[in-house]
Structure 1
Amino acid sequence: MLLIAKLHLRDQWNWNLSRDCDLLPFQEMDKASSSTDAPVAPSNDKDQVVSMTPEEFFGDIKSDYAKQLGDLTPEELYDNYNPGPNNPDGTVNFECHCVGHLVASPCGYEFRNAISCQKATSDEELEKGACGDELMDFMRCAMRTECFKARNASSEQNSESAPSPAPEPSNSEGN
Protein backbone atom coordinates (compact mmCIF):
# COMPACT_ATOMS: atom_id res chain seq x y z
CA MET A 1 0.00 0.00 0.00
CA LEU A 2 2.83 2.38 0.88
CA LEU A 3 4.56 1.61 -2.40
CA ILE A 4 1.40 2.51 -4.32
CA ALA A 5 1.14 5.82 -2.43
CA LYS A 6 4.78 6.62 -3.17
CA LEU A 7 4.31 5.79 -6.85
CA HIS A 8 1.19 7.93 -7.00
CA LEU A 9 2.98 10.86 -5.39
CA ARG A 10 5.93 10.41 -7.72
CA ASP A 11 3.63 10.32 -10.75
CA GLN A 12 1.73 13.37 -9.48
CA TRP A 13 5.01 15.24 -8.94
CA ASN A 14 6.25 14.31 -12.42
CA TRP A 15 2.93 15.35 -13.96
CA ASN A 16 3.01 18.72 -12.21
CA LEU A 17 6.59 19.28 -13.29
CA SER A 18 5.89 18.39 -16.90
CA ARG A 19 2.68 20.41 -16.94
CA ASP A 20 4.38 23.50 -15.52
CA CYS A 21 7.63 23.26 -17.50
CA ASP A 22 6.39 25.72 -20.10
CA LEU A 23 5.80 28.32 -17.39
CA LEU A 24 9.27 28.22 -15.84
CA PRO A 25 12.57 29.32 -17.36
CA PHE A 26 14.57 26.18 -18.03
CA GLN A 27 18.21 25.53 -18.73
CA GLU A 28 19.00 22.05 -19.92
CA MET A 29 22.02 20.37 -18.32
CA ASP A 30 24.27 18.22 -20.38
CA LYS A 31 24.74 14.64 -19.20
CA ALA A 32 28.42 15.10 -18.31
CA SER A 33 27.83 18.04 -15.93
CA SER A 34 24.78 16.49 -14.27
CA SER A 35 25.32 15.85 -10.57
CA THR A 36 22.71 13.10 -10.43
CA ASP A 37 22.95 9.46 -11.31
CA ALA A 38 19.18 9.16 -11.72
CA PRO A 39 18.06 7.52 -14.94
CA VAL A 40 16.77 9.97 -17.51
CA ALA A 41 13.47 9.04 -19.08
CA PRO A 42 13.11 9.45 -22.82
CA SER A 43 11.71 12.84 -23.72
CA ASN A 44 9.20 13.67 -26.38
CA ASP A 45 8.13 16.90 -28.03
CA LYS A 46 5.59 17.66 -25.29
CA ASP A 47 7.39 17.01 -22.01
CA GLN A 48 10.82 17.43 -20.50
CA VAL A 49 12.10 15.39 -17.58
CA VAL A 50 14.21 17.24 -15.04
CA SER A 51 16.29 15.26 -12.56
CA MET A 52 17.80 16.64 -9.39
CA THR A 53 19.61 15.31 -6.37
CA PRO A 54 18.10 15.51 -2.87
CA GLU A 55 20.70 18.19 -2.05
CA GLU A 56 19.50 20.30 -4.99
CA PHE A 57 15.86 19.72 -4.04
CA PHE A 58 16.28 20.71 -0.39
CA GLY A 59 18.95 23.35 -1.01
CA ASP A 60 18.59 27.08 -1.41
CA ILE A 61 16.45 28.40 -4.25
CA LYS A 62 18.70 29.64 -7.03
CA SER A 63 16.09 30.70 -9.59
CA ASP A 64 15.36 34.44 -9.55
CA TYR A 65 11.86 33.69 -10.86
CA ALA A 66 11.11 31.35 -7.95
CA LYS A 67 12.50 33.89 -5.47
CA GLN A 68 10.20 36.55 -6.93
CA LEU A 69 7.21 34.22 -6.51
CA GLY A 70 8.19 33.67 -2.88
CA ASP A 71 8.11 37.41 -2.23
CA LEU A 72 4.55 37.87 -3.50
CA THR A 73 1.61 38.19 -1.12
CA PRO A 74 -1.28 35.72 -1.51
CA GLU A 75 -3.41 38.50 -3.03
CA GLU A 76 -0.79 39.09 -5.72
CA LEU A 77 -0.10 35.41 -6.33
CA TYR A 78 -3.64 34.00 -6.55
CA ASP A 79 -6.36 35.41 -8.77
CA ASN A 80 -9.12 34.23 -6.45
CA TYR A 81 -7.51 35.01 -3.09
CA ASN A 82 -9.93 33.93 -0.38
CA PRO A 83 -9.54 36.23 2.65
CA GLY A 84 -11.79 34.24 5.00
CA PRO A 85 -15.41 34.60 6.10
CA ASN A 86 -15.44 38.35 5.46
CA ASN A 87 -14.54 40.18 2.29
CA PRO A 88 -12.34 43.28 2.69
CA ASP A 89 -15.46 45.47 2.38
CA GLY A 90 -17.09 43.65 5.34
CA THR A 91 -19.61 41.62 3.35
CA VAL A 92 -19.87 37.86 3.76
CA ASN A 93 -17.48 35.78 1.67
CA PHE A 94 -19.77 32.90 0.69
CA GLU A 95 -16.85 31.22 -1.15
CA CYS A 96 -14.93 30.67 2.10
CA HIS A 97 -14.63 27.01 3.08
CA CYS A 98 -15.78 27.94 6.59
CA VAL A 99 -19.28 28.84 5.37
CA GLY A 100 -19.31 27.00 2.04
CA HIS A 101 -20.94 23.90 3.54
CA LEU A 102 -23.74 26.07 4.93
CA VAL A 103 -24.34 27.76 1.59
CA ALA A 104 -24.38 24.40 -0.21
CA SER A 105 -26.72 22.78 2.32
CA PRO A 106 -30.46 22.29 1.73
CA CYS A 107 -30.92 25.44 3.83
CA GLY A 108 -28.41 27.53 1.91
CA TYR A 109 -30.96 30.11 0.77
CA GLU A 110 -32.17 30.69 4.33
CA PHE A 111 -28.59 30.83 5.62
CA ARG A 112 -27.59 33.46 3.05
CA ASN A 113 -30.63 35.57 3.96
CA ALA A 114 -29.91 35.33 7.70
CA ILE A 115 -26.19 36.07 7.52
CA SER A 116 -26.59 38.85 4.95
CA CYS A 117 -29.20 40.51 7.17
CA GLN A 118 -26.93 40.17 10.20
CA LYS A 119 -23.97 41.74 8.38
CA ALA A 120 -26.08 44.64 7.07
CA THR A 121 -27.57 45.42 10.50
CA SER A 122 -25.98 47.38 13.34
CA ASP A 123 -25.38 45.81 16.76
CA GLU A 124 -28.03 48.10 18.25
CA GLU A 125 -30.66 46.92 15.75
CA LEU A 126 -29.67 43.28 16.36
CA GLU A 127 -30.21 43.81 20.12
CA LYS A 128 -33.75 44.99 19.31
CA GLY A 129 -34.45 41.76 17.39
CA ALA A 130 -33.64 42.67 13.80
CA CYS A 131 -33.02 39.64 11.55
CA GLY A 132 -34.84 37.35 13.98
CA ASP A 133 -37.28 36.17 11.32
CA GLU A 134 -34.46 35.30 8.91
CA LEU A 135 -32.57 33.40 11.60
CA MET A 136 -35.71 31.50 12.63
CA ASP A 137 -36.39 30.58 8.98
CA PHE A 138 -32.87 29.14 8.79
CA MET A 139 -33.28 27.24 12.08
CA ARG A 140 -36.68 25.84 11.03
CA CYS A 141 -35.18 24.63 7.76
CA ALA A 142 -32.21 23.05 9.57
CA MET A 143 -34.52 21.21 11.98
CA ARG A 144 -36.93 20.15 9.23
CA THR A 145 -34.25 18.79 6.89
CA GLU A 146 -31.86 17.60 9.64
CA CYS A 147 -29.05 18.77 7.37
CA PHE A 148 -26.71 19.43 10.32
CA LYS A 149 -27.45 16.29 12.32
CA ALA A 150 -24.41 14.98 14.21
CA ARG A 151 -23.09 11.57 13.26
CA ASN A 152 -21.18 10.38 16.32
CA ALA A 153 -21.68 7.93 19.18
CA SER A 154 -23.40 10.40 21.51
CA SER A 155 -25.98 11.31 18.87
CA GLU A 156 -26.69 7.62 18.26
CA GLN A 157 -27.53 7.17 21.95
CA ASN A 158 -29.89 10.15 21.82
CA SER A 159 -31.54 8.84 18.67
CA GLU A 160 -32.54 5.58 20.40
CA SER A 161 -35.49 7.39 21.96
CA ALA A 162 -36.44 8.86 18.58
CA PRO A 163 -38.47 6.81 16.11
CA SER A 164 -36.28 4.56 14.01
CA PRO A 165 -36.26 4.93 10.23
CA ALA A 166 -38.29 2.53 8.12
CA PRO A 167 -36.44 -0.70 7.31
CA GLU A 168 -34.95 -0.93 3.85
CA PRO A 169 -36.72 -3.29 1.43
CA SER A 170 -35.02 -6.62 0.90
CA ASN A 171 -34.10 -8.08 -2.47
CA SER A 172 -36.02 -11.33 -2.01
CA GLU A 173 -39.78 -11.65 -1.83
CA GLY A 174 -41.27 -12.43 1.55
CA ASN A 175 -38.18 -11.28 3.53
Structure 2
Amino acid sequence: MSQVYKEGKDTIIFATKEDHQSPSKIELSPPEPSPGLIFPDGSINWNCPCLGGMATGPCGVEFRESFTCFHYSKEEPKGLECREKFTAMWACMDKYPEVYNEGMKDNEEILSTEENKDDNSVSNVQIENKNQDKKL
Protein backbone atom coordinates (compact mmCIF):
# COMPACT_ATOMS: atom_id res chain seq x y z
CA MET A 1 0.00 0.00 0.00
CA SER A 2 1.17 3.52 -0.71
CA GLN A 3 2.11 5.90 2.07
CA VAL A 4 1.16 9.57 2.16
CA TYR A 5 3.00 12.24 4.16
CA LYS A 6 2.24 15.93 4.46
CA GLU A 7 5.12 18.35 4.94
CA GLY A 8 3.87 21.91 4.99
CA LYS A 9 2.33 22.68 1.61
CA ASP A 10 3.72 19.50 0.03
CA THR A 11 2.15 16.06 -0.13
CA ILE A 12 4.61 13.18 -0.55
CA ILE A 13 3.27 9.88 -1.85
CA PHE A 14 5.33 6.69 -1.82
CA ALA A 15 3.69 4.30 -4.26
CA THR A 16 4.33 0.57 -4.27
CA LYS A 17 4.84 -1.64 -7.31
CA GLU A 18 1.31 -2.98 -6.83
CA ASP A 19 -0.09 0.57 -6.93
CA HIS A 20 1.39 1.02 -10.41
CA GLN A 21 0.19 -2.34 -11.73
CA SER A 22 -3.52 -1.57 -11.46
CA PRO A 23 -5.14 0.82 -13.96
CA SER A 24 -5.74 4.36 -12.82
CA LYS A 25 -9.19 5.14 -11.49
CA ILE A 26 -8.87 8.85 -12.13
CA GLU A 27 -11.14 10.29 -14.81
CA LEU A 28 -9.97 13.50 -16.40
CA SER A 29 -12.41 16.04 -17.73
CA PRO A 30 -12.15 16.69 -21.47
CA PRO A 31 -9.69 19.46 -22.30
CA GLU A 32 -11.16 22.87 -22.86
CA PRO A 33 -10.90 23.96 -26.47
CA SER A 34 -8.19 26.48 -27.16
CA PRO A 35 -9.76 29.84 -27.96
CA GLY A 36 -7.43 30.60 -30.87
CA LEU A 37 -6.72 34.14 -32.02
CA ILE A 38 -10.23 35.49 -31.49
CA PHE A 39 -12.29 34.81 -28.37
CA PRO A 40 -15.97 33.88 -28.79
CA ASP A 41 -16.93 37.44 -27.80
CA GLY A 42 -14.90 38.80 -30.75
CA SER A 43 -12.01 40.21 -28.72
CA ILE A 44 -8.38 39.44 -29.55
CA ASN A 45 -6.49 36.75 -27.62
CA TRP A 46 -3.09 38.42 -27.18
CA ASN A 47 -1.73 35.23 -25.58
CA CYS A 48 -2.36 33.11 -28.68
CA PRO A 49 0.83 31.27 -29.65
CA CYS A 50 -0.06 32.03 -33.28
CA LEU A 51 1.13 35.61 -32.71
CA GLY A 52 4.65 34.37 -32.04
CA GLY A 53 5.29 36.82 -29.19
CA MET A 54 4.64 39.87 -31.37
CA ALA A 55 2.20 41.30 -28.85
CA THR A 56 4.83 41.34 -26.10
CA GLY A 57 8.06 42.16 -27.96
CA PRO A 58 9.77 45.57 -28.00
CA CYS A 59 7.16 46.75 -30.52
CA GLY A 60 4.26 45.02 -28.78
CA VAL A 61 2.29 48.23 -28.24
CA GLU A 62 2.58 49.22 -31.90
CA PHE A 63 1.69 45.69 -33.00
CA ARG A 64 -1.39 45.55 -30.77
CA GLU A 65 -2.57 48.97 -31.94
CA SER A 66 -2.20 48.11 -35.63
CA PHE A 67 -3.68 44.62 -35.27
CA THR A 68 -6.62 45.94 -33.23
CA CYS A 69 -7.27 48.62 -35.83
CA PHE A 70 -7.22 46.02 -38.61
CA HIS A 71 -9.39 43.53 -36.69
CA TYR A 72 -12.13 46.05 -35.98
CA SER A 73 -11.83 47.85 -39.34
CA LYS A 74 -15.07 48.56 -41.21
CA GLU A 75 -13.36 50.24 -44.20
CA GLU A 76 -13.05 48.67 -47.65
CA PRO A 77 -10.50 47.41 -48.33
CA LYS A 78 -10.21 46.17 -44.76
CA GLY A 79 -7.68 48.09 -42.69
CA LEU A 80 -7.43 51.08 -45.01
CA GLU A 81 -7.65 53.47 -42.06
CA CYS A 82 -4.82 51.62 -40.22
CA ARG A 83 -1.98 52.70 -42.48
CA GLU A 84 -0.42 55.09 -39.93
CA LYS A 85 -0.51 52.46 -37.18
CA PHE A 86 1.15 49.84 -39.42
CA THR A 87 3.77 52.38 -40.50
CA ALA A 88 4.54 53.10 -36.84
CA MET A 89 4.85 49.36 -36.17
CA TRP A 90 7.23 48.83 -39.12
CA ALA A 91 9.31 51.85 -38.03
CA CYS A 92 9.57 50.35 -34.56
CA MET A 93 10.58 46.96 -36.00
CA ASP A 94 13.34 48.65 -38.00
CA LYS A 95 14.83 49.82 -34.67
CA TYR A 96 15.15 46.19 -33.47
CA PRO A 97 16.59 44.20 -36.39
CA GLU A 98 18.07 41.58 -34.06
CA VAL A 99 14.55 40.71 -32.90
CA TYR A 100 12.47 41.12 -36.05
CA ASN A 101 14.83 40.36 -38.95
CA GLU A 102 15.21 36.69 -38.01
CA GLY A 103 11.63 35.96 -39.03
CA MET A 104 12.06 38.10 -42.12
CA LYS A 105 15.03 35.96 -43.25
CA ASP A 106 12.79 32.89 -43.15
CA ASN A 107 10.16 34.72 -45.23
CA GLU A 108 12.79 35.88 -47.73
CA GLU A 109 14.02 32.30 -48.18
CA ILE A 110 10.48 31.11 -48.82
CA LEU A 111 9.81 33.94 -51.25
CA SER A 112 13.05 33.39 -53.16
CA THR A 113 12.26 29.68 -53.46
CA GLU A 114 8.76 30.48 -54.73
CA GLU A 115 10.16 33.06 -57.18
CA ASN A 116 12.60 30.48 -58.54
CA LYS A 117 9.71 28.05 -59.04
CA ASP A 118 7.75 30.78 -60.83
CA ASP A 119 10.76 31.67 -63.01
CA ASN A 120 11.22 28.02 -63.97
CA SER A 121 7.56 27.59 -64.84
CA VAL A 122 7.61 30.76 -66.96
CA SER A 123 10.70 29.59 -68.88
CA ASN A 124 9.10 26.16 -69.37
CA VAL A 125 5.99 27.80 -70.81
CA GLN A 126 8.15 29.89 -73.13
CA ILE A 127 9.99 26.78 -74.33
CA GLU A 128 6.69 24.96 -74.90
CA ASN A 129 5.33 27.93 -76.86
CA LYS A 130 8.47 28.01 -79.04
CA ASN A 131 8.12 24.29 -79.74
CA GLN A 132 4.49 24.77 -80.71
CA ASP A 133 5.44 27.59 -83.06
CA LYS A 134 7.91 25.29 -84.84
CA LYS A 135 5.22 22.64 -85.35
CA LEU A 136 2.89 25.13 -87.02
TM-score by length of structure 1 reads: 0.46
Q: 1:113 aligns with which of 30, 46, 65?
A: 65
Structure 1 CA distance, aligned partners of 2:46 and 2:52?
Answer: 6
2:87 partner amino acid: M
Query: Does residue 130 of structure 1 match 2:81?
Result: yes
1:134 partner amino acid: K
Corresponding residue number in structure 2 for 1:51: 16
Distance 1:99 1:55, change over 3 A: same
Report deviation, 1:51: 2.9
Distance 1:45 1:140, change over 3 A: closer
1:148 partner amino acid: Y
Structure 2 CA distance, aligned partners of 1:48 and 1:60?
Answer: 17
Report deviation, 1:148: 0.6
Structure 1 CA distance, aligned partners of 2:36 and 2:18?
Answer: 38
Q: Higher helix proportion, which one?
A: 2
Kept in 1: contact 2:66–2:82 (CA 8 A)? yes
Kept in 2: contact 1:91–1:119 (CA 8 A)? no
Q: Secondary structure, in 3 states, of the residue corresponding to 1:91? A: coil
**How many pairs align?**
100
Note the alpha carbon deviations across 1:155-175, whole angstroms, 9 max, x for none.
Answer: xxxxxxxxxxxxxxxxxxxxx
TM-score by length of structure 2 reads: 0.57
Q: Percent identity?
A: 21
Q: Secondary structure, in 3 states, of the residue corresponding to 1:102? A: coil
Note the alpha carbon deviations across 1:64-99, whole angstroms, 9 max, x for none.
Answer: xx22x2x43415xxxxxx512211122211011222
Corresponding residue number in structure 2 for 1:90: 42
Name stretches of at least 5 consecutive residues in structure 2 with no aligned partner.
107-136
Note the alpha carbon deviations across 1:12-48, whole angstroms, 9 max, x for none.
Answer: xxxxxxxxxxxxxxxxx38xxxxxxxxxxx8644322
Structure 2 CA distance, aligned partners of 1:132 and 1:109?
Answer: 16
Distance 1:91 1:45, change over 3 A: closer
- Written as runs of structure 1 = structure 2, the 5 A alignment for 1:5-154 is 29=1, 44-46=5-7, 47-52=12-17, 56=21, 60-61=23-24, 63=25, 66-67=26-27, 69=28, 71-74=29-32, 82-99=34-51, 101-122=53-74, 124-126=76-78, 129-146=80-97, 147-150=99-102
Q: Higher strand proportion, which one?
A: 2
